A and B are shown apart, each in its own frame.
Chain A
């Protein structure tokens, strides 16, 4: 499919109108809120619950975040926990996450934390799947201080794939230039990943915050592996989704906003900026996520 036929340009773009019109309504307080955009339902594959340890973030209370995302057209959000990035009592983190998601009436879908560098991570993974019914897990190799050549990392991927679980890997959490001086953390080096994934049949791996600027050299090995997916939150550069879709098939791009750490609107407007509409927009906004959920044996939201 040519790049031109992937996209519909200004004038016929539903998202162009939606992206801008989404911000037209002011709330009673005079503080503007996002009205539901005309994008159709959105599945946001990348949000976090609980609190970032170094600052309070607007909408970092679960109820607030639900309201905010719903107002923007989100019907379901795949949630990890900030606690899972920093806490070592992973079992307690996952139990809390499962409860918060249950209390949201299914709006949040829990993606538990598993750290293969911690003792008995297999039990944490089992509980995520069997006790909490999670469709997937979210990994943070850099914050958990292991590299991707750790043997237990590959083993974790295999066990998750055997269970039919989706694995999300967060490659980055915040700009290295602005981290708290007590805790600088480098981005995950993804180079070994393609080869590892090639040896794990059935794995569905979603990379979060992995692409800033779509560059062929860095992306090509990952793109070749058809079971690796990408989100949009960290993506930058003018017309950036168009640039991404030059390299990555639209069937493997998910709408992920990284809310509440990032302003949700920043990701939504990227679709308008790149005039993504029609079938590519449907795939990115919800259909690819639905497809992944089906592989994990989950019901999918309409």
Chain B
């Protein structure tokens, strides 16, 4: 089975490589052990020197072009800066997508639309971290979220404004029993299964409720293990053809427009 992993992070705390290129090499070697061919890499830019500097990012992505796909990490409340980052790293640089994390801001706010319009103009793959965290008193789902951390329903609102463009709902909303139905009726949202523990039933529920074409594999290494996340799909009671969609085809389909635009073979 061919596997592409949408969601990896570097630099990593236990990596021994001295440069980002060395760490990428190390990560790819470990990924290969469990059958992963290509990876998406979420990268924070702006560092002038040392490990993970902008120069290192360019060098490493050039070295592994077609095998490692860079996503630029944006903070929506730094709206103009985010637009510039997308232009610089996706439009004019080596990256193919935009990553929004738990620290990136609530994505449905209309003042952030120019960032999304820029990313969509460039045909960038758009990944949005979502989570529904239990918290508060009394405890309620979402009550434990960070102020900047979107829930799936925020992404649903955003996606409704761009109905013809795909968005990735990261981490299956964290609490996938709530996340999956939250995005069910938004046909341009894909469910990414990374980041949580490998609780059995997640992938089956995603495939059942959304269809396997809307479920996409990511691991969230180095914080998570490739293995624990791969097991979610390998171990799911779904047809082989669905696993192929989830492991590779859906990500490949999202990448096609921007790779074609950039002339990158994958």
- Nearest-Cβ distance from residue A77 to partner chain B, whole angstroms: 15
- Is B227 part of the binding interface, using a Cβ–Cβ cutoff of 8 Å? yes
- Is B235 part of the binding interface, using a Cβ–Cβ cutoff of 8 Å? yes
Name B138's contact: one of A56, A175, A181, A234 (CB within 8 Å): A181
CB pair B231 A269 closer than 8 Å: yes
- Nearest-Cβ distance from residue B241 to partner chain A, whole angstroms: 8
CB pair A57 B234 closer than 8 Å: no
- Is B217 part of the binding interface, using a Cβ–Cβ cutoff of 8 Å? no
Task: Give the residues in chain B near A30, CB-CB below 8 Å.
Answer: 239-241
Q: What residues of chain A have their CB less than 8 Å away from a CB belonging to chain B?
A: 10, 13, 16, 19-20, 22-23, 26, 30-32, 34, 55-59, 174-179, 181, 184, 234-240, 243, 259-273, 275
Report the Cα distance A236→B227, complex, angstroms. 9
- Is B261 part of the binding interface, using a Cβ–Cβ cutoff of 8 Å? no
Closest Cβ neighbor of B3 among chain A residues: A20
- Report 18 cross-chain contacts, Cβ distance below 8 Å, ordered by A residue: A13-B33, A19-B34, A26-B239, A58-B204, A177-B134, A177-B135, A178-B176, A235-B225, A236-B225, A237-B14, A237-B224, A261-B199, A263-B198, A264-B231, A269-B227, A269-B234, A272-B34, A273-B33
- Nearest-Cβ distance from residue A121 to partner chain B, whole angstroms: 30
- Nearest-Cβ distance from residue A79 to partner chain B, whole angstroms: 16
Contact with A along B213-231 (1 / 0, CB 8 A): 0000000011111111111
CB pair A178 B134 closer than 8 Å: yes
Binds A, one of B55-63, B139-147, B156-164, B181-189: B139-147
Contact with A along B9-37 (1 / 0, CB 8 A): 00010100000000000010110111100
Task: Give the residues in chain A near B238, CB-CB below 8 Å.
Answer: 31-32
Q: What residues of chain B have their CB less than 8 Å away from a CB belonging to chain A?
A: 1, 12, 14, 27, 29-30, 32-35, 131-135, 138-141, 144, 174-177, 196-201, 204, 221-232, 234-241, 243
Name A58's contact: one of B141, B201, B228 (CB within 8 Å): B201
CB pair B200 A273 closer than 8 Å: no
Known: A10-B29, A266-B235. A177 touches B131 (CB 8 A): yes
Known: A32-B243, A273-B226. A177 touches B133 (CB 8 A): yes
Report the Cα distance A26→B243, complex, angstroms. 11
CB pair A26 B228 closer than 8 Å: no
CB pair A240 B225 closer than 8 Å: yes
Report the Cα distance A273→B230, complex, angstroms. 11
Task: Give the residues in chain A near B14, CB-CB below 8 Å.
Answer: 237-239, 243
CB pair B198 A266 closer than 8 Å: yes
Task: Give the residues in chain B near A261, CB-CB below 8 Å.
Answer: 199-200
- Nearest-Cβ distance from residue A14 to partner chain B, whole angstroms: 12
Report the Cα distance A234→B228, complex, angstroms. 9
Closest Cβ neighbor of B238 among chain A residues: A31
CB pair A272 B33 closer than 8 Å: yes
Task: Give the residues in chain B near A179, CB-CB below 8 Å.
Answer: 134
Report the Cα distance A168→B177, complex, angstroms. 30
Report the Cα distance A238→B34, complex, angstroms. 11
Task: Give the residues in chain B near A267, CB-CB below 8 Å.
Answer: 227-228, 231
CB pair A262 B198 closer than 8 Å: yes
Closest Cβ neighbor of B236 among chain A residues: A263
Closest Cβ neighbor of A259 among chain B residues: B200
